[in-house]
Structure 1
Amino acid sequence: MVYVDKDIESNLKYAPRSRNVFSTVKSTLVKYRKVVILLISLIFLSLFTDVPFVPHLKLSQPNVVIILAANEGGGVLKWKGAQEWSIERSSIANKKDYAKRHGYDLTIKDLTVKKRYSHEWRESWEKVDILKQAMRQYPKAEWFWWLDLHTYIMEPQLSLEEQIFSKLDNLTYRQLTDFNPLQLKTDIPYVDYSQPIDLLITQDCGGFNLGSFIVRRSQWTEALLDIWWDPVFYEQMHMTWEHKEQDALETLYNAQAWIRERVGFLPLRSINAFPPGACSEQSNDPRYFYSDKERDFVVNMAGCDWGRDCWNEMEHYKALSKKLQRPWYKFW
């Protein structure tokens, strides 16, 4: 007589059934392998890339998305050196920390891959196209904050809700009667300034500053981005306009009442404070330049690669921000 352990006997009893189930699953996967591959690919793209047509797989999407313009694969015209890599790492880490702290999302856009038009290269114009992509990528987000690489959030403990959105009416101005560096028109008729603000920008000595600006999702914003990105502007004016997409927006604002009525201007130092050396012709005007005593929110090292030292400026403001965040008793 042969004795068989009951556990072994039980396993042997159900072994054929297990093999049948495995075979069924295997045959199903083989049958629908294209669908399975597609699903796995979509999940991978959603989790690990910034593909604009694939919404990120999250239980809830953020209300604010920060868009950081970077050149992670190298410079547009040349490969980056050690200091340029350092600037990029510092800027990205700064935005990642800020977004994580306040429950925002950060999407990093590599501008080197935007050279995708066979007949043109809209350098600096691509931010309009990227904004359109980000809005498709984050269909539930309301606000989108564009930041150039040479920016640094100095007061990361302050949310945009606290710093900007909760006091829009008191913080913004709608007409250019008091501050108008470009001498744009101030008497366009039929402008309804009671409309909500959908575009938040600042002005500096050169006009509209697009190194740091904020847009709200709306039908107005979609229409603005469409006309701003229209190739007619580029084809006819790209050799004339020195500041490219900035000049295009200024022209639209100067001519179109429907655009003007939803633009709100923030003080420059609210999201774009300059370091010494920028806007040098206005060096004595405190409206332009970062103040550590008044704890300005963001510093924008605009134009640092034209006769200034971008790396030294980034390191200076990174160290200063860290120092300002220390508890008061650690200064002694």
Structure 2
Amino acid sequence: MPPRKTSRPPPYAARQNRGGVQIPYQVRSLLRRERLRMIALVILSFLTFLWLIGRIGGESGSTAAAIIGTGPDVVIVTVLDPKADAGWIEKIKKNREDYAKRHGYLTFFPENDRYDLKNSPSSWAKVPAMRHAMTLNPSSAFFWYLESTTLIMEPSLPLTSHVLASSTLEKSMIVNQPVVPPDSVIKTFGNLKGDRIDLIITQDKDGLALSSFVVRNGEWAKYFLDAWFDPIYRSYNFQKADTHALEHIVQWHGTILAKLALVPQNQINAYVTGPANQENGQYRDGDLVANFPGCDKEKRNCADEMKPFFDIADRKARGLD
């Protein structure tokens, strides 16, 4: 009795095609795989084409198409309290606007109740305000945060050459300095190039001083501001809220410290009153910024304390001094 035929052909079985040529099973399997691979490549190429078309079309009218550096060099950001004296607020805005107009910069004045801070202190509003300003002005290169307790006192000094130029920054940055004075073991780097700095800030007697700082636009800036504004830090109940949160992340995250430059306090943040840096923090005539830290608290009056400085800054803005 002959053996039964199996339903499975032997591995090297050949099949006759229409022309009578025997095609081995292995060859047919290889051809089938190649055909499937070609189909997959065609589909993938088509999907890639559609993605590129959508990306090009989507970016043509979006902020993603903006080229950093093609817009105004600097955007000045000041967060305002809508409950503050209206006359004083107008003077603060005019102080920035006069300076910005003179140098081709822009200004941005959001109110501190515009952002959902989740019951955090209102001082946190500076962080989303900076992020907001970047969204509105994606082609600007630098964003200068100025607290409402500060005044620009030397309207003729452009921030770009006074602080931001790489050569100026390399000469003025303070290296190997404890981030939190006097004895923090974490110190500023000593080998940074000016064009690699993305965060420019000062330090008063107590620590980092956030009344005036500059952030360079870019992906790192977005990462930095988002990290700083993390809900974990806002809910941690730091004694000085956003200030202590920043000191924490600067000391614990090398990716932030590696982009930070400390500059002398009187370069962009000199104190008229308050805990000024003993070496370079006290305001003197000729400094770009005069700061009155805490004048909006402790039963003090910013408008009264600033009045003589408003008059001086206004006279200089009009070219009378």
Instruction: Give the TM-score taking structure 2 as reference length.
Output: 0.70
The 2-side partners of 1:268 and 1:172 are apart by 11
Q: Which secondary structure does the structure 1 equivalent of 2:79 belong to?
A: strand
**Per-residue displacement from partner, 1:215-251 (whole Å, max 9, x unpaired)?**
001222222112111112223x12xx11111111100
Aligned length: 253
- Flag structure 2 segments of 5+ consecutive residues without an equivalent: 1-62
Code of the aligned partner of 1:249: L
Q: Give the whole-Å Cα distance in 2 for the aligned partners of 1:201 and 1:187.
A: 14
Q: Please state whether the residue corresponding to 2:76 is helix, strand or coil.
A: strand
Aligned to 2:313: 321
Q: 2:239 aligns with which of 237, 242, 252?
A: 242
Q: 1:136 to 1:319 in 2, by over 3 A?
A: same
Per the alignment, residue 201 of structure 2 pairs with 201
Question: Matches of 2:149 and 2:131 in 1, distance apart?
Answer: 22
Q: Does 1:64 align with 2:61?
A: no
Name the larger-Rg structure.
Answer: 2
Report the Cα offset of residue 68 of structure 1.
1.3
Question: Is residue 259 of structure 2 the alignment partner of residue 262 of structure 1?
Answer: yes
Alpha-carbon distance in 1 for matches of 2:181, 2:141: 30
In structure 1, C-alpha distance between the alignment counterparts of 2:135 and 2:186, rounded to whole Å: 35
Shift of 1:325: 6.2
Partner of 1:233: 233
Matches within 5 A, 1:32-43: none
Q: Paired residue for 1:272?
A: 269
Deviation at 1:67, TM superposition (A): 0.7
Name the residue aligned to 1:102.
103
State whether residues 274 and 290 of structure 1, in contact with CA within 8 Å, keep that contact through their aligned partners in structure 2.
yes
Please name the residue that 1:150 is paired with: 149
**Gap runs ≥5 in structure 1:** 1-52
- Give 1:213 shift: 0.6
Corresponding residue of 1:212: 212
Aligned twin of 2:284: 291
Deviation string for 1:116-135 (max 9, x for gaps)? Answer: 36x53452122111211211
Kindly provide the amino acid, as one letter, of the partner of residue 125 in structure 2: E
Q: Deviations over 1:64-88 (max 9, x none)?
A: 11111112xx32xxxx4xxx22221
Q: Is the 8 A contact 1:270 1:297 kept in 2?
A: yes
Question: Does structure 2 conserve the Cα–Cα contact (< 8 Å) formed by 1:191 and 1:261?
Answer: no
Take 1:137 and 1:206, find their aligned partners in 2: how far apart are those partners?
A: 34
* TM-score calculated relative to the size of structure 1: 0.68
Deviation of 1:100 after TM superposition, in Å, equals: 0.8
Task: Please report how far the alpha carbon of residue 322 of structure 1 lies from its aligned counterpart in structure 2 after TM superposition.
Answer: 3.9
| Contact kept in structure 2, 1:87 and 1:314, CA below 8 Å | no
Q: Does 1:311 align with 2:303?
A: yes
Note if contact 2:79-2:125 (Cα within 8 Å) is conserved in structure 1. no
Query: Could you say what the CA RMSD is over the residues aligned between the two structures, in angstroms?
Result: 3.0
**Aligned-partner SS, 1:303:** coil
Answer yes or no: is 1:133 the counterpart of 2:132: yes
Q: Is the 8 A contact 1:191 1:257 kept in 2?
A: no
